[in-house]
Chains A and B, each alone.
Chain A
């Protein structure tokens, strides 16, 4: 046992006493402070745990992808809307009608979100505009990363319109910014939609 500090190294010779087996710090005045760690306290036999303060938004990764999508669309000059509403409320029907009315005035592209099948994208393509289907499988909403991949495959055109039809769900998509022009716009559209389509 070390006769200087009492540790069980099996030797009593510690020239210079250089071993560091505790959580302690050496201050400017050579004081050895066992309570100066992150926990601010020393308990015999226990190492100090570290406390890491982060204050980081949990969806910051999604928000990063969303901002990248938004910058990309802004650089091209394309206006994006994220359409959110409940299942069966008529999102695709409204979209098909909007495309029919607007396609002669604006280049239009569509991202279709659905858990399964490409039925919705097929309906959009039948209206003669490019559409990418994203199947989320068990996921109940689109996220910005998925939309970024869809943007890789769609023609992004100056002064164009990008419609993103989210998965039919009024709760889950609300948390996930996709990079649309104005996140609150989609909520207003959804509200109007709900009032009209029930």
Chain B
């Protein structure tokens, strides 16, 4: 379950921010998760609850925002929604598609006090 390491990294980041920005409690954590990424939201919640225990992030609400998959075709120079990695371009049918969204794993925002 790699979500455990990810939850640990998340709590580490928050504690670092707590030290540098001077807060001691976190109320809300907003995380952006790519829909085509490798993180299972429920597993991340479970691991976060376990890992945040005894830290400034304990008890914080974890808001997981899903970012839809998006690709960009280098041949057609246009963006479109993709449902899977390595999807082909819906216009030209070729696979010159670079994934531009949907792989996020980002700490977006904290509400602290």
Contacts and interface: CB of A to CB of B under 8 A. Distances in A.
A56 B27 contact: no
A186 interface: no
Interface in B72-113: 105-113
B5 A50 contact: no
B17 A49 contact: no
Contacts of B39: 175
Contacts of A59: 6, 9, 105
B65 interface: no
Contacts of B21: 50, 52
The contact size tier of chain A is 20 to 34
B38 to A, nearest CB: 5
Interface of A is mostly: mixed
Interface string A134-160: 000001110100000000000000000
Contacts of B9: 58-59, 61-62
A44 to B, nearest CB: 17
Given A49-B112, A52-B17, A52-B110, A58 B1 contact: no
B53 interface: no
Nearest to B109: A53
Contacts of B5: 139, 141, 143, 176
B105 A57 contact: yes
A141 B17 CA distance: 27
A49 B105 contact: no
A53 B111 contact: no
Contacts of A47: 113
Give 10 nearest A-B pairs by CB, closest first. Answer: A172-B2, A52-B110, A49-B113, A175-B38, A58-B105, A56-B107, A50-B112, A54-B107, A53-B109, A58-B9
16 contacts: A49-B111, A49-B113, A51-B109, A52-B17, A54-B13, A55-B107, A57-B105, A58-B105, A59-B9, A61-B9, A139-B5, A140-B1, A140-B2, A171-B2, A175-B2, A175-B38
Interface of B: 1-2, 4-6, 9-10, 12-13, 17, 21, 23, 27, 31, 38-39, 105-113
